[in-house]
Amino acid sequence: MKVLGISAYYHDSAAAIILDGKVLYAAQEERFTRIKNDASFPEEAIKYCLRESGFNLKDIDIIAFYDKPFLKFERLLETYYAFAPKGFKSFAKAMPVWLKEKLFTKQIIRKRLKELNEDRKLSKVPIVFPEHHLSHVASAFYTSPFKKSAFLTVDGVGEWTTTSYGTACGEKGIKVLGELHFPDSLGLFYSSFTYFLGFEVNKGEYKMMGLAPYGTMQSEQVTQFIQTIKERLLDIREDGSIKLNKDYFEYAVGLRMVNPRKWQKLFGFEKRDPVEKLTQLHADLALAAQKVSEEILVRMITHIKQVTHADNLCLAGGVALNCVANSVLYNQNIFKDIYIQPAAGDAGGAIGAALITDYLESDLSFSGLKQPFDNFLGPNFSNLEIERTLRRNKCSFQYFESTEELLNITADYIANKKVVGWFNGRIEFGPRALGNRSILADATDTDMQSLLNLKIKFRESFRPFAPAVCEEDYDTYFEPGKHSHYMLFTNQVKQPLRHELPSNFNGLSLEEKRNIPKSKLPAVTHIDYSARVQVVKKEMNPRFWNLLQTYKKLTGIGVLINTSFNVKDEPIVNTPENAYRCFINSGIDILVLENYLIVK
């Protein structure tokens, strides 16, 4: 069966093509439109998936949308009614959009797809609407190595559900055993702190996660913040379910997450303006929110283990992109293994909606993937297409017939402190660049983090960078932990590589803390000696693996900085033209496009 999966209209729109339970192609709309977290109908992503698969719309057996709009509308109406007359402004703003568009999602999908179909005939193709969290579950389980497992999905909100857990079995299907409903939401709880700390909701949560380690659990301020959160903002139950104090949250009916005045009184400082300098207070509150979230998640999976007795766990939903929390869960050793699909947020809902539809409609069985899920599912470009782009831009370049020679020269540039834009193969599906649309640099350079943040990525100086290391070399640099191919867990830098911090470290400013090298890999070692490691398997990305090995032979170091090939507030580059523009307009020194090399 051929299934087209679609996620759209909230954030991170995407499309995917599934054939008989296998994900053929998938792409996020933002990569084509160049609008970060684009929520629009994924027209370009759909066209790409159809073009690459060789199908047209009349070949599709069924179309799956990743949630149920009518259930979501019911939640909005009931919530506004429950809180009335509060929230009238939000109600007045939301209703026209719903009455004009979102209530008619099925008709709009059919209309938009007809516009893509040359003969305009599409009425016979059924459109189905799996529930939001079911799409999340399916996106994880049906791309996992497990024949059966427990699952946990946690995000802001789907229709009503904010958290769900249960069991998934390749033969018996998915069984939901418990749910948490709106407005009690761990995802929205976390986003409320994102908002108060001056980051953008649904975009800046990973910034708050990166800021949190600048706090310390030995701080009385952090301890006080945690106590305040637990006493005033939420009630945490033994099973990990939560009850939020609605007096302090406005997202249910308001146009903002929280009332800044109430939170100022609660925590002793004003809501941070996005351009305001970050201080220790901000880091301490970020750490407190992170630690409370981790405690809730640990309680959740402990309860799930007690109920399901499963060996393995699948995680999904936007909260599953919190790699720090993921590592805390993994290190509890409650489950033998934890799997997270690399596009765990709403973009992955397109894959999940299509997969659950295919498995239900076709009565397929699932025995776990024998090889790791391949998320290189987006567009690729031939050398001919790349050369046309370079000639159109009147760019001088070198072409290498020998890949070995290209890798040697690229590794030499990196060893000489040059920053390389690396464009190879199909683009990654999900938020992480995993060696196909990456910026690569020397992890041992003490100035590289600052250089990349300020002159190339144009972003906040505190933000850490991720290391890439071949699976064979992992143990040389990092303590035992989860080997993540998708940068979804953190690992500790090996003890012998660490530098001792000065005795007055905790009293320094955030910038002073950042400037002190933490290890022999200073550019990828965060303030708490952690790193969001990408473990590279040769069979998953042979070219990137070979580059790492080439660099290791040259320098003796088997680790590179790997950050996404984009600048602040832009999506990861998709096409050779995107890559060239990013290269020209940033501080990147070298651009490698497949077998072409350009020197600035």
Asked if residue 147 belongs to a domain, the reply is no
Question: Do the Cβ atoms of 40 and 74 come closer than 8 Å?
Answer: no
Please choose, from the candidates 323, 599, 588, 282, the residue with its C-alpha nearest in 3D space to the C-alpha of residue 458: 588
Asked if residue 174 belongs to a domain, the reply is no
pLDDT block averages, 10 residues each, the chain of length 600: 96 96 98 96 98 93 95 82 70 74 85 79 85 98 98 96 98 96 97 97 94 95 98 98 96 90 97 96 98 98 98 98 98 98 97 97 93 97 97 96 98 98 98 98 96 89 93 98 98 98 94 95 97 98 98 98 95 98 97 97
Residues in CB range of 285: below 8 A, 6 or more apart: 193, 196, 197, 215, 225, 267
Q: Please indicate, yes or no, whether residues 216 and 326 belong to a single structural domain of this protein.
A: yes
Asked if residue 156 belongs to a domain, the reply is no
Q: Which amino acid is at 300?
A: M
pTM of the model: 0.95
Tokens at 532, concatenated: 């969001």
- Tell me, what's the pLDDT at 120? 62
Residues in CB range of 281: below 8 A, 6 or more apart: 221, 268, 269
Q: Please indicate, yes or no, whether residues 309 and 457 belong to a single structural domain of this protein.
A: no
- Tell me, what's the pLDDT at 124? 82
Count other Cβ atoms within 10 Å, centred on residue 124: 6
Give me the numbers of helices (H) and strands (E) for the chain, helices first please. 20, 22
Asked if residue 177 belongs to a domain, the reply is no
Q: How many domains, the chain? A: 3
Q: How far is CA 307 from each of CA 140, 148, 170, 252, 310, rounded to the nearest angstrom?
A: 20, 15, 19, 31, 9
CATH number reported for the structural domain that contains residue 449 in this entry: 3.90.870.20
Last residue of some domain: 268, 303, 338?
338
Q: How far apart are CA 27 and CA 8, in angstroms?
A: 12
Please choose, from the candidates 323, 348, 369, the residue with its C-alpha nearest in 3D space to the C-alpha of residue 491: 323
Q: Please indicate, yes or no, whether residues 430 and 545 belong to a single structural domain of this protein.
A: yes
Q: How far apart are CA 168 and CA 149, in angstroms?
A: 5
- Tell me, what's the pLDDT at 90? 73
- Percentage helix, strand, coil, to 5, in the chain? 40, 20, 40
Q: Please indicate, yes or no, whether residues 333 and 199 belong to a single structural domain of this protein.
A: yes
Q: Please indicate, yes or no, whether residues 226 and 91 belong to a single structural domain of this protein.
A: no
Q: Please indicate, yes or no, whether residues 394 and 328 belong to a single structural domain of this protein.
A: no
Q: Please indicate, yes or no, whether residues 406 and 356 belong to a single structural domain of this protein.
A: no
Cis? peptide before 42, omega within 30° of 0: no
Q: Please indicate, yes or no, whether residues 100 and 226 belong to a single structural domain of this protein.
A: no
- Tell me, what's the pLDDT at 88? 66
- Tell me, what's the pLDDT at 255? 80
**Cα angle at 423 between 421 and 427, to 5 degrees?**
130
Q: Please indicate, yes or no, whether residues 450 and 589 belong to a single structural domain of this protein.
A: yes
Q: How far apart are CA 560 and CA 553, in angstroms?
A: 13
- Tell me, what's the pLDDT at 374? 97
Asked if residue 447 belongs to a domain, the reply is yes
Asked if residue 443 belongs to a domain, the reply is yes
Q: Please indicate, yes or no, whether residues 334 and 476 belong to a single structural domain of this protein.
A: no
Question: Do the Cβ atoms of 304 and 152 come closer than 8 Å?
Answer: yes
CATH number reported for the structural domain that contains residue 31 in this entry: 3.30.420
Residues of the domain holding 333: 186-338
CATH number reported for the structural domain that contains residue 296 in this entry: 3.30.420.40
Cis? peptide before 183, omega within 30° of 0: yes
Asked if residue 176 belongs to a domain, the reply is no
Q: Please indicate, yes or no, whether residues 292 and 422 belong to a single structural domain of this protein.
A: no
Q: How far apart are CA 509 and CA 132, in angstroms?
A: 43
Q: Please indicate, yes or no, whether residues 462 and 506 belong to a single structural domain of this protein.
A: yes
Residue 466 Cα to chain centre, angstroms: 14
Asked if residue 568 belongs to a domain, the reply is yes
Tokens at 240, concatenated: 């990990």
